[in-house]
Chains A and B, each alone.
Chain A
Amino acid sequence: MSAKFRMGTDLAKYIQELGYRNELGYQTFLYSNDADIRKVFMFIVDKLPKETVEAQEETLGASILLQRAIASTLARQLSSPWAPSYLKENGITWRGIPPCWQREGASSLCHFHSCRITKPFRTGDITKKIPKELRFYYTKILPVVTNQTLQHNDTAPSVIEENAIEYTQQQEWESEWNQSGLGSRLSEEEYRARKKERIKKKITDQLRQDRQRGGTTAGSSLSLDLQQMISSISGRASTTTKTKGSRFTHTEKLLFAKDEEKVISEVGTGEGPRTKTEEELQKEREVEVGDLREELNNLVSRLESVDMDMRKFTAGIQQMEEEIGNQGRINKEKEEGFIVKKRTLDLLPDAENNITKLQAVVDNSGQRLINLANQWEKHRAPLIEQYRDLKDLTSKKESEAHKMLEEIKEFRKKMKEVADEARNKEELQKQLTSEYERMTKDVNRLAYTKRITEIVANIKKQKKEIDKVLVDTRAVQKEINQLSGKLDRQFTVTDELIFRDAKKDEAVKKAYRYLAALHENCELLIKTVEETGLIMREIRELEDQIESESHKKVLSNLEKISADFQQMKKENAAMLAKLKGKS
């Protein structure tokens, strides 16, 4: 009980903190009353945050539409009655409300399996010629798309995958072209060719590096491996022939031995020493195996030594070749030195003449050099100027090209943005239209407006009536006033008349007294009538109040409260008892 009370007070406090004006306390919740609770609820609902509604409207995105579609499909499928599986062909039925084809069960499922399919490309383009052979292949040999896969089930996956591949390739290429292709200032074909070359180079480099690395770190082992393989091939051949031979001889021997033994056994005691021969066989075999193994070991060691020799010899050959080269070079140098020396020696006998001749030759050649230099200068100056001009021009052009490139890039970006925007807008429009279609068309609106107008008309009518009643009451009031005025005047007039006559006549005096009494009594009567009216009104008000109070169920509430009070008392007593018991 106390918990209830506390809860009630807390609730009341919170609601009053929110700004509730009317009277509110724990009693509102404990001893509830429809009208009060209704008011409280109205207030609280008004206070509810309104963002939720807007948010709901905003988040009506593609995902919600999809969810709705799923829900509607599920509802349709749930509403259709169950059917046994043998009534469906491969799990496909014509059912639902409204009926449509649907797949049920898993028997018809197949995995996604796609194959590469080939489509003819640019056959209708007249500007680009396709090779004759390709055209022949397209027209005569290539099967149609739906007939290319091994199984018909694979057609749809293959077609879809083909399209997806093509689309992604296109997308990838576009982004690459936008990013780096445009900057390289090449045409598309050139760019593609360059890329191809780059990749090729990369691969070859990689291969070469791998090979070199292999050669440096494990070169010996590699070569050893190779040699081993070669030797194993050749060796196998030789050993097999040998073992074959040996086996042959061995069997021969065996046969002979057997024969001999047979002969012996036949000739001899006749006890077949079969076990003995077996043992002998075993022994012989072992011996032979040992021999062979030894031979093999020998051969292997010989091979190794030969191998070593070979390597040594090859190294020697290389060294020798290098030495030969060195010697040849030295020889050549020496020959050249010999030739020069020989010429100078030839010139020595007629020294002076020869010196002058040589001087002349030297002078001549000097002059010629100067001449040539002059000529060169003459040619050079305009060339350099031209070169400079051209350089300026190219740099200008380059900067222009750069600018243009930037512009192109910007335009492309803009293009993309606009396209994206358009797509987004289109999607939004689609969503909105679908939502609009989904919305229940407002039939209620008309009804509402009608009702509102009706209510307004009613109110007008009521107002008119009220006005009428008011006018009536006013008229009545006026009449009353008039009548009372008339009465007053009449009374004063008669009063005067009778008063004048009363002095003369006794009877009239009496009449005057009666008149005064009558007037007083009448006034009293009117007063009492008015009072009764007032009282009646009060009574009516009080009755109304009583009714409203009785609506509030004060009595029952009081009873409830007293019962609760009793309960609380009991609880308190019990708690006290407990406390005492504990202490």
Chain B
Amino acid sequence: MELGQCTLEGLALAGDAAHIPDKIFQPFITRACDGVLDVRSRDAIAKDSSFQSVDLAVLKEAYAAVVTLLLEAAKNDVDSNSISSVLEDCKFTSDRIDIFSKLYKDRKPYLQILLGRIGDSCPHIVDVDWRMDYYIKNNHLEKVNQAVYLITLKTEVPGQKDFKEVQFSCTQEQLQDLVGKLRDATKSMEKASQL
């Protein structure tokens, strides 16, 4: 985990009892977590009256540093031990380190999901509709007798709420091929999970 000088200084501010008193430290960290995670409380710390005793500029700097630390730690999947060593370097007292580690441990999955949502992906198949038509004859041939499958894949596309449908038709062989490919994919997933 790599933090800039500015962030480290901000963390030192946050750990200093002269700037952020012990009484409001826990709400302060909680607010920082919520501010990152929740849209509704993104501005909560500025509106909270319990932080009025703190110099606003200091509060904002410390807040920015704590937010950065939380996000970076979640990004690198840092455990509580390493985070406590970072905080020790920033002159946190052991009580504060405990409070911070506990809050961070609780919030880490949420933070990681938040970070995991950043990115792009191919359309994700969630459902499928299908229909089988039996094709008996056409204008040129008296006897065709083939099964034709009409398949509709319902996919999730990043950034869209509704499903996007992908529709195609295929013969039985093609369908078998598709099923074989899907089976291969499942198998390779299983193989990857059994390292």
Contacts and interface: CB of A to CB of B under 8 A. Distances in A.
Partners in one complex: yes
Interface of A: 67-68, 70-72, 74-75, 78, 84-85, 91-92, 100-103, 105-112, 117, 119-125, 135, 138-140, 142-147, 152, 155-157, 159-160, 162-163, 165-167, 169-170, 430
- Residue from B46, B75, B117, B155 with most neighbouring chain A CB atoms (10 Å): B117
Given A74-B192, A109-B119, A144 B114 contact: no
Interface of B: 2-7, 9-10, 12-13, 16, 19, 35-36, 39, 42-43, 45-46, 55-58, 60-61, 63-65, 67-68, 71-72, 75, 82, 109-110, 113-124, 126-127, 155-161, 189-190, 192-195
B189 A78 contact: yes
Contacts of A155: 36, 42
A120 B109 contact: no
Contacts of B36: 146, 155-156, 159
A147 B82 CA distance: 29
A73 to B, nearest CB: 8
B117 A108 contact: yes
B113 A106 contact: no
Contacts of A120: 57-58, 60-61, 64
A166 B5 contact: yes
A67 B60 contact: no
B117 to A, nearest CB: 5
Given A110-B159, A139-B55, A160-B68, 15 more contacts: A108-B158, A109-B120, A112-B119, A119-B64, A120-B64, A121-B6, A124-B12, A124-B58, A138-B57, A145-B64, A156-B118, A159-B36, A163-B72, A166-B6, A169-B4
B124 A105 contact: yes
Contact of B194 (A75, A103, A117, A156): A75
A558 to B, nearest CB: 48
A123 B55 contact: yes
Nearest to B18: A124
Contacts of A156: 36, 71, 114-115, 118
Contact of A138 (B12, B43, B56, B155): B56
Contacts of B68: 145, 159-160, 162-163
B126 A84 contact: yes
Contacts of B60: 119-120, 123, 138, 142, 144-145
A84 B127 contact: yes
15 contacts: A70-B195, A71-B195, A91-B156, A107-B157, A108-B117, A108-B158, A111-B159, A119-B65, A120-B60, A124-B61, A144-B60, A146-B36, A163-B72, A166-B5, A169-B4
Contact of A74 (B117, B158, B189): B189
Contacts of B110: 101
A144 B46 contact: yes
Nearest to A433: B81
A122 B55 CA distance: 13
A106 B19 CA distance: 43
A347 B38 CA distance: 106
Given A78-B190, A160-B71, A166-B7, A144 B39 contact: no
B124 A106 contact: yes
B158 to A, nearest CB: 4
Given A105-B126, A121-B61, A152-B42, A146 B121 contact: no
Contact of A103 (B72, B82, B116, B195): B116
Contacts of A159: 36, 64, 67-68, 71
Contacts of B12: 124
Contacts of B161: 107
A124 B17 CA distance: 12
Contacts of B2: 163, 167
Contacts of B65: 119
Contact of A112 (B6, B109, B118, B190): B118
A57 B190 CA distance: 24
Contact of B156 (A74, A106, A124, A152): A106
